[in-house]
């Protein structure tokens, strides 16, 4: 993998048009908006400021492509195109990684890893395109055969967040395309570049015009997608509050929704755990992507007998993390995405202090010599399950250490929030680990590991963490409708037609 460093001398502001019906287009309004690098406060990209009219154009193009043949294209055809996109992503990996880093503020090494993961998502979806299977029922009687087949839902609206823009659209789009759908996509206005760049690779791969359409802009575009009568399904990743709003809007037309929302994810650390590995996971889970991650392991639920030692070890690691310029390959933690998110983190840290939690380290902005939004890795102890820093998704580099005495108590603390995205248990006692894995209310439970994922296994949450699943074979089901076809075999005996000699009324 590439290891070079970049400087601002390598940055040229770039204008990136939207893609509708296979063409680069401007917004009907003629307006544009600009993105500044959150780590450097310099202009990096600008885009058309799309609106409702542009969504109308995109939906019309997607509907035309759907009915024009894409819906009935073969799995082989779809698979070959998806594989071509994976190849093109690898070809342009460094360009994509740099664009991702400039807009998100995440370290360039992390962006490179995410681009590599993106290519694997497209490859796995390609394998599913040729393996969509239905059912046949041959036990319904001598004259009946029933088939159950999967069909594409139609036009899917996709609204994605700013924290993992390339990776998250690739957890949705290739699976929807593999199932035979078309798409209208709205990336976050903070991080639109790699989604638009991906759209160009999709076009280069040979996908028919209109199969994938990308409209850049603010929440006006997102609302237009959720409300549009020509869109059959909405797939959204983001905050729980916005997800509820989208579900309510889509529900008026009974659109299907798939929502991947927030998390307040616990890691239970038992006395017999691999201490060093658990500390590493605690630090990684809390500070990866500056904590701006729905899977952030921000609640460390640690047995009381080791809680102080564990917290001290986490602090030691946190204080020596390389936080700074994301363009350097040795940086581990970059910048928060914008001033709004910085203010959110500062508010929660203040609430933690006011509620009686003990601040062990961090708790303020970090001077790196850059004009960015850098924040110190932060650790609180003496945290109770009722404090806002233990119940709310902060989306920042803030860890809370909560002590427990029994495994039952630890599981109760873990399950005490409204979220249920992911959870973890660190234990070398197999019975203890499996007990926790079965009782934790979360869509993903990691045992003696944290935050690794694979295209083959589904991802999603319980409760306020969302509806539906992404990835795995289950992703195709999310983007499909089931149809039952019943066939008559042989001559059917009539039931409601009168016999020839029956008396008439």
Q: Which residues are catalytic?
A: 260, 294
- Radius of gyration of the chain, Cα coordinates, nearest whole angstrom: 25
User: Six-digit token pair at 365?
Assistant: 């902005």
Angle between helices 219-227 and 52-67 (to 10 degrees): 40
Segment (H or E) for 281: helix 275-287
Please report the DSSP string for 373-434 in residue order.
--B--EEEES--TTSHHHHS---SSEEEEEEESSHHHHHHHHTTSSEESEEEEE-S-HHHHH
User: Six-digit token pair at 112?
Assistant: 């490179």
Give dist(CA 399, CA 396) in Å, integer.
Answer: 9
Q: How is residue 180 annotated by DSSP?
A: T
Which residues, including other chains, have CB under 8 Å from residue 383's CB and lie 6 or more apart? 352, 357, 389, 390, 400, 401, 402
Q: Classify residue 260 as exposed, middle or buried by CB count within 10 Å of its CB (0-12, 13-18, 19+).
A: buried
Q: What is the largest CA-CA distance in the chain?
A: 99
Cβ count within 10 A of residue 53: 12
Segment (H or E) for 18: strand 18-20
Which residues, including other chains, have CB under 8 Å from residue 190's CB and lie 6 or more apart? 35, 103, 104, 162, 337, 338
Q: For the chain, what percentages of helix, strand and coil (3-state, to nearest 5) are there?
A: 40, 20, 40
Query: 471's torsion region: left (phi>0), alpha (psi -120 to 50) or beta?
Result: left
**Residue among 86, 186, 153, 440 nearest 297 (CA):** 440
User: Six-digit token pair at 483?
Assistant: 């149809």
Segment (H or E) for 350: helix 339-354
């Amino acid at each position: 993998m590439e290891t070079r460093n970049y400087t601002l001398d390598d940055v040229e502001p770039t204008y990136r048009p939207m893609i509708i019906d296979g063409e680069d287009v401007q917004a009907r309004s003629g307006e544009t908006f600009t993105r500044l690098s959150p780590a450097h406060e310099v202009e990096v990209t600008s885009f058309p400021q799309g609106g409702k009219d542009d969504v109308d154009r995109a939906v019309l193009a997607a509907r035309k492509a759907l009915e024009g043949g894409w819906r009935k294209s073969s799995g082989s055809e779809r698979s070959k195109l998806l594989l071509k996109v994976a190849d093109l992503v690898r070809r342009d990996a460094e360009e994509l990684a740099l664009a991702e880093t400039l807009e998100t503020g995440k370290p360039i090494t992390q962006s490179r890893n995410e681009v590599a993961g993106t290519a694997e998502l497209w490859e796995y979806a390609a394998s599913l395109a040729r393996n969509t299977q239905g059912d046949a029922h041959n036990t319904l009687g001598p004259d009946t055969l029933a088939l159950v087949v999967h069909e594409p839902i139609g036009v899917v609206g996709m609204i994605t967040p700013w924290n993992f823009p390339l990776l998250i659209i690739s957890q949705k789009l290739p699976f929807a395309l593999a199932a035979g759908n078309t798409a209208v996509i709205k990336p976050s206005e903070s991080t639109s570049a790699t989604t638009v760049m991906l759209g160009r690779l999709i076009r280069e791969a040979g996908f028919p015009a209109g199969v994938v359409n990308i409209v850049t802009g603010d929440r006006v575009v997102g609302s237009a997608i959720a409300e549009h009568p020509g869109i059959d399904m909405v797939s959204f990743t983001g905050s729980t509050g916005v997800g509820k709003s989208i579900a309510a809007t889509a529900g008026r037309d009974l659109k299907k929704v798939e929502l991947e929302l927030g998390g307040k994810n616990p890691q239970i650390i038992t006395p017999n755990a691999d201490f060093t590995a658990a500390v590493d996971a605690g630090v990684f889970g809390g500070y990866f992507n500056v904590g701006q991650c729905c899977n952030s392991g921000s609640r460390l639920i640690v047995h009381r007998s080791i809680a102080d030692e564990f917290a001290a070890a986490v602090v030691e690691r946190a204080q020596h993390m390389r936080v700074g310029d994301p363009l350097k390959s040795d940086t581990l933690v970059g910048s928060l995405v914008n001033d709004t998110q910085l203010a959110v983190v500062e508010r929660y840290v203040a609430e933690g202090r006011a509620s009686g939690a003990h601040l062990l380290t961090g708790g303020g902005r970090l001077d790196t010599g850059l004009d960015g939004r850098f924040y110190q890795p932060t650790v609180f102890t003496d945290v109770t399950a009722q404090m806002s820093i233990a119940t709310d998704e902060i989306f920042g580099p803030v860890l809370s250490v909560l002590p427990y005495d029994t495994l039952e108590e630890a599981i109760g603390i873990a399950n005490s929030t409204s979220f249920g995205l992911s959870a973890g248990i660190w234990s070398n006692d197999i019975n203890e680990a499996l007990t926790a894995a079965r009782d934790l209310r979360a869509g993903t439970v990691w045992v003696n590991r944290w935050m690794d994922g694979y295209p083959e296994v589904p991802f999603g949450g319980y409760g306020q963490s969302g509806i539906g699943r992404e990835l795995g074979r289950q992703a195709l089901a999310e983007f499909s409708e089931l149809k039952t076809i019943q066939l008559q075999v042989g001559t059917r005996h009539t039931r409601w037609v009168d016999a020839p000699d029956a008396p008439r009324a």
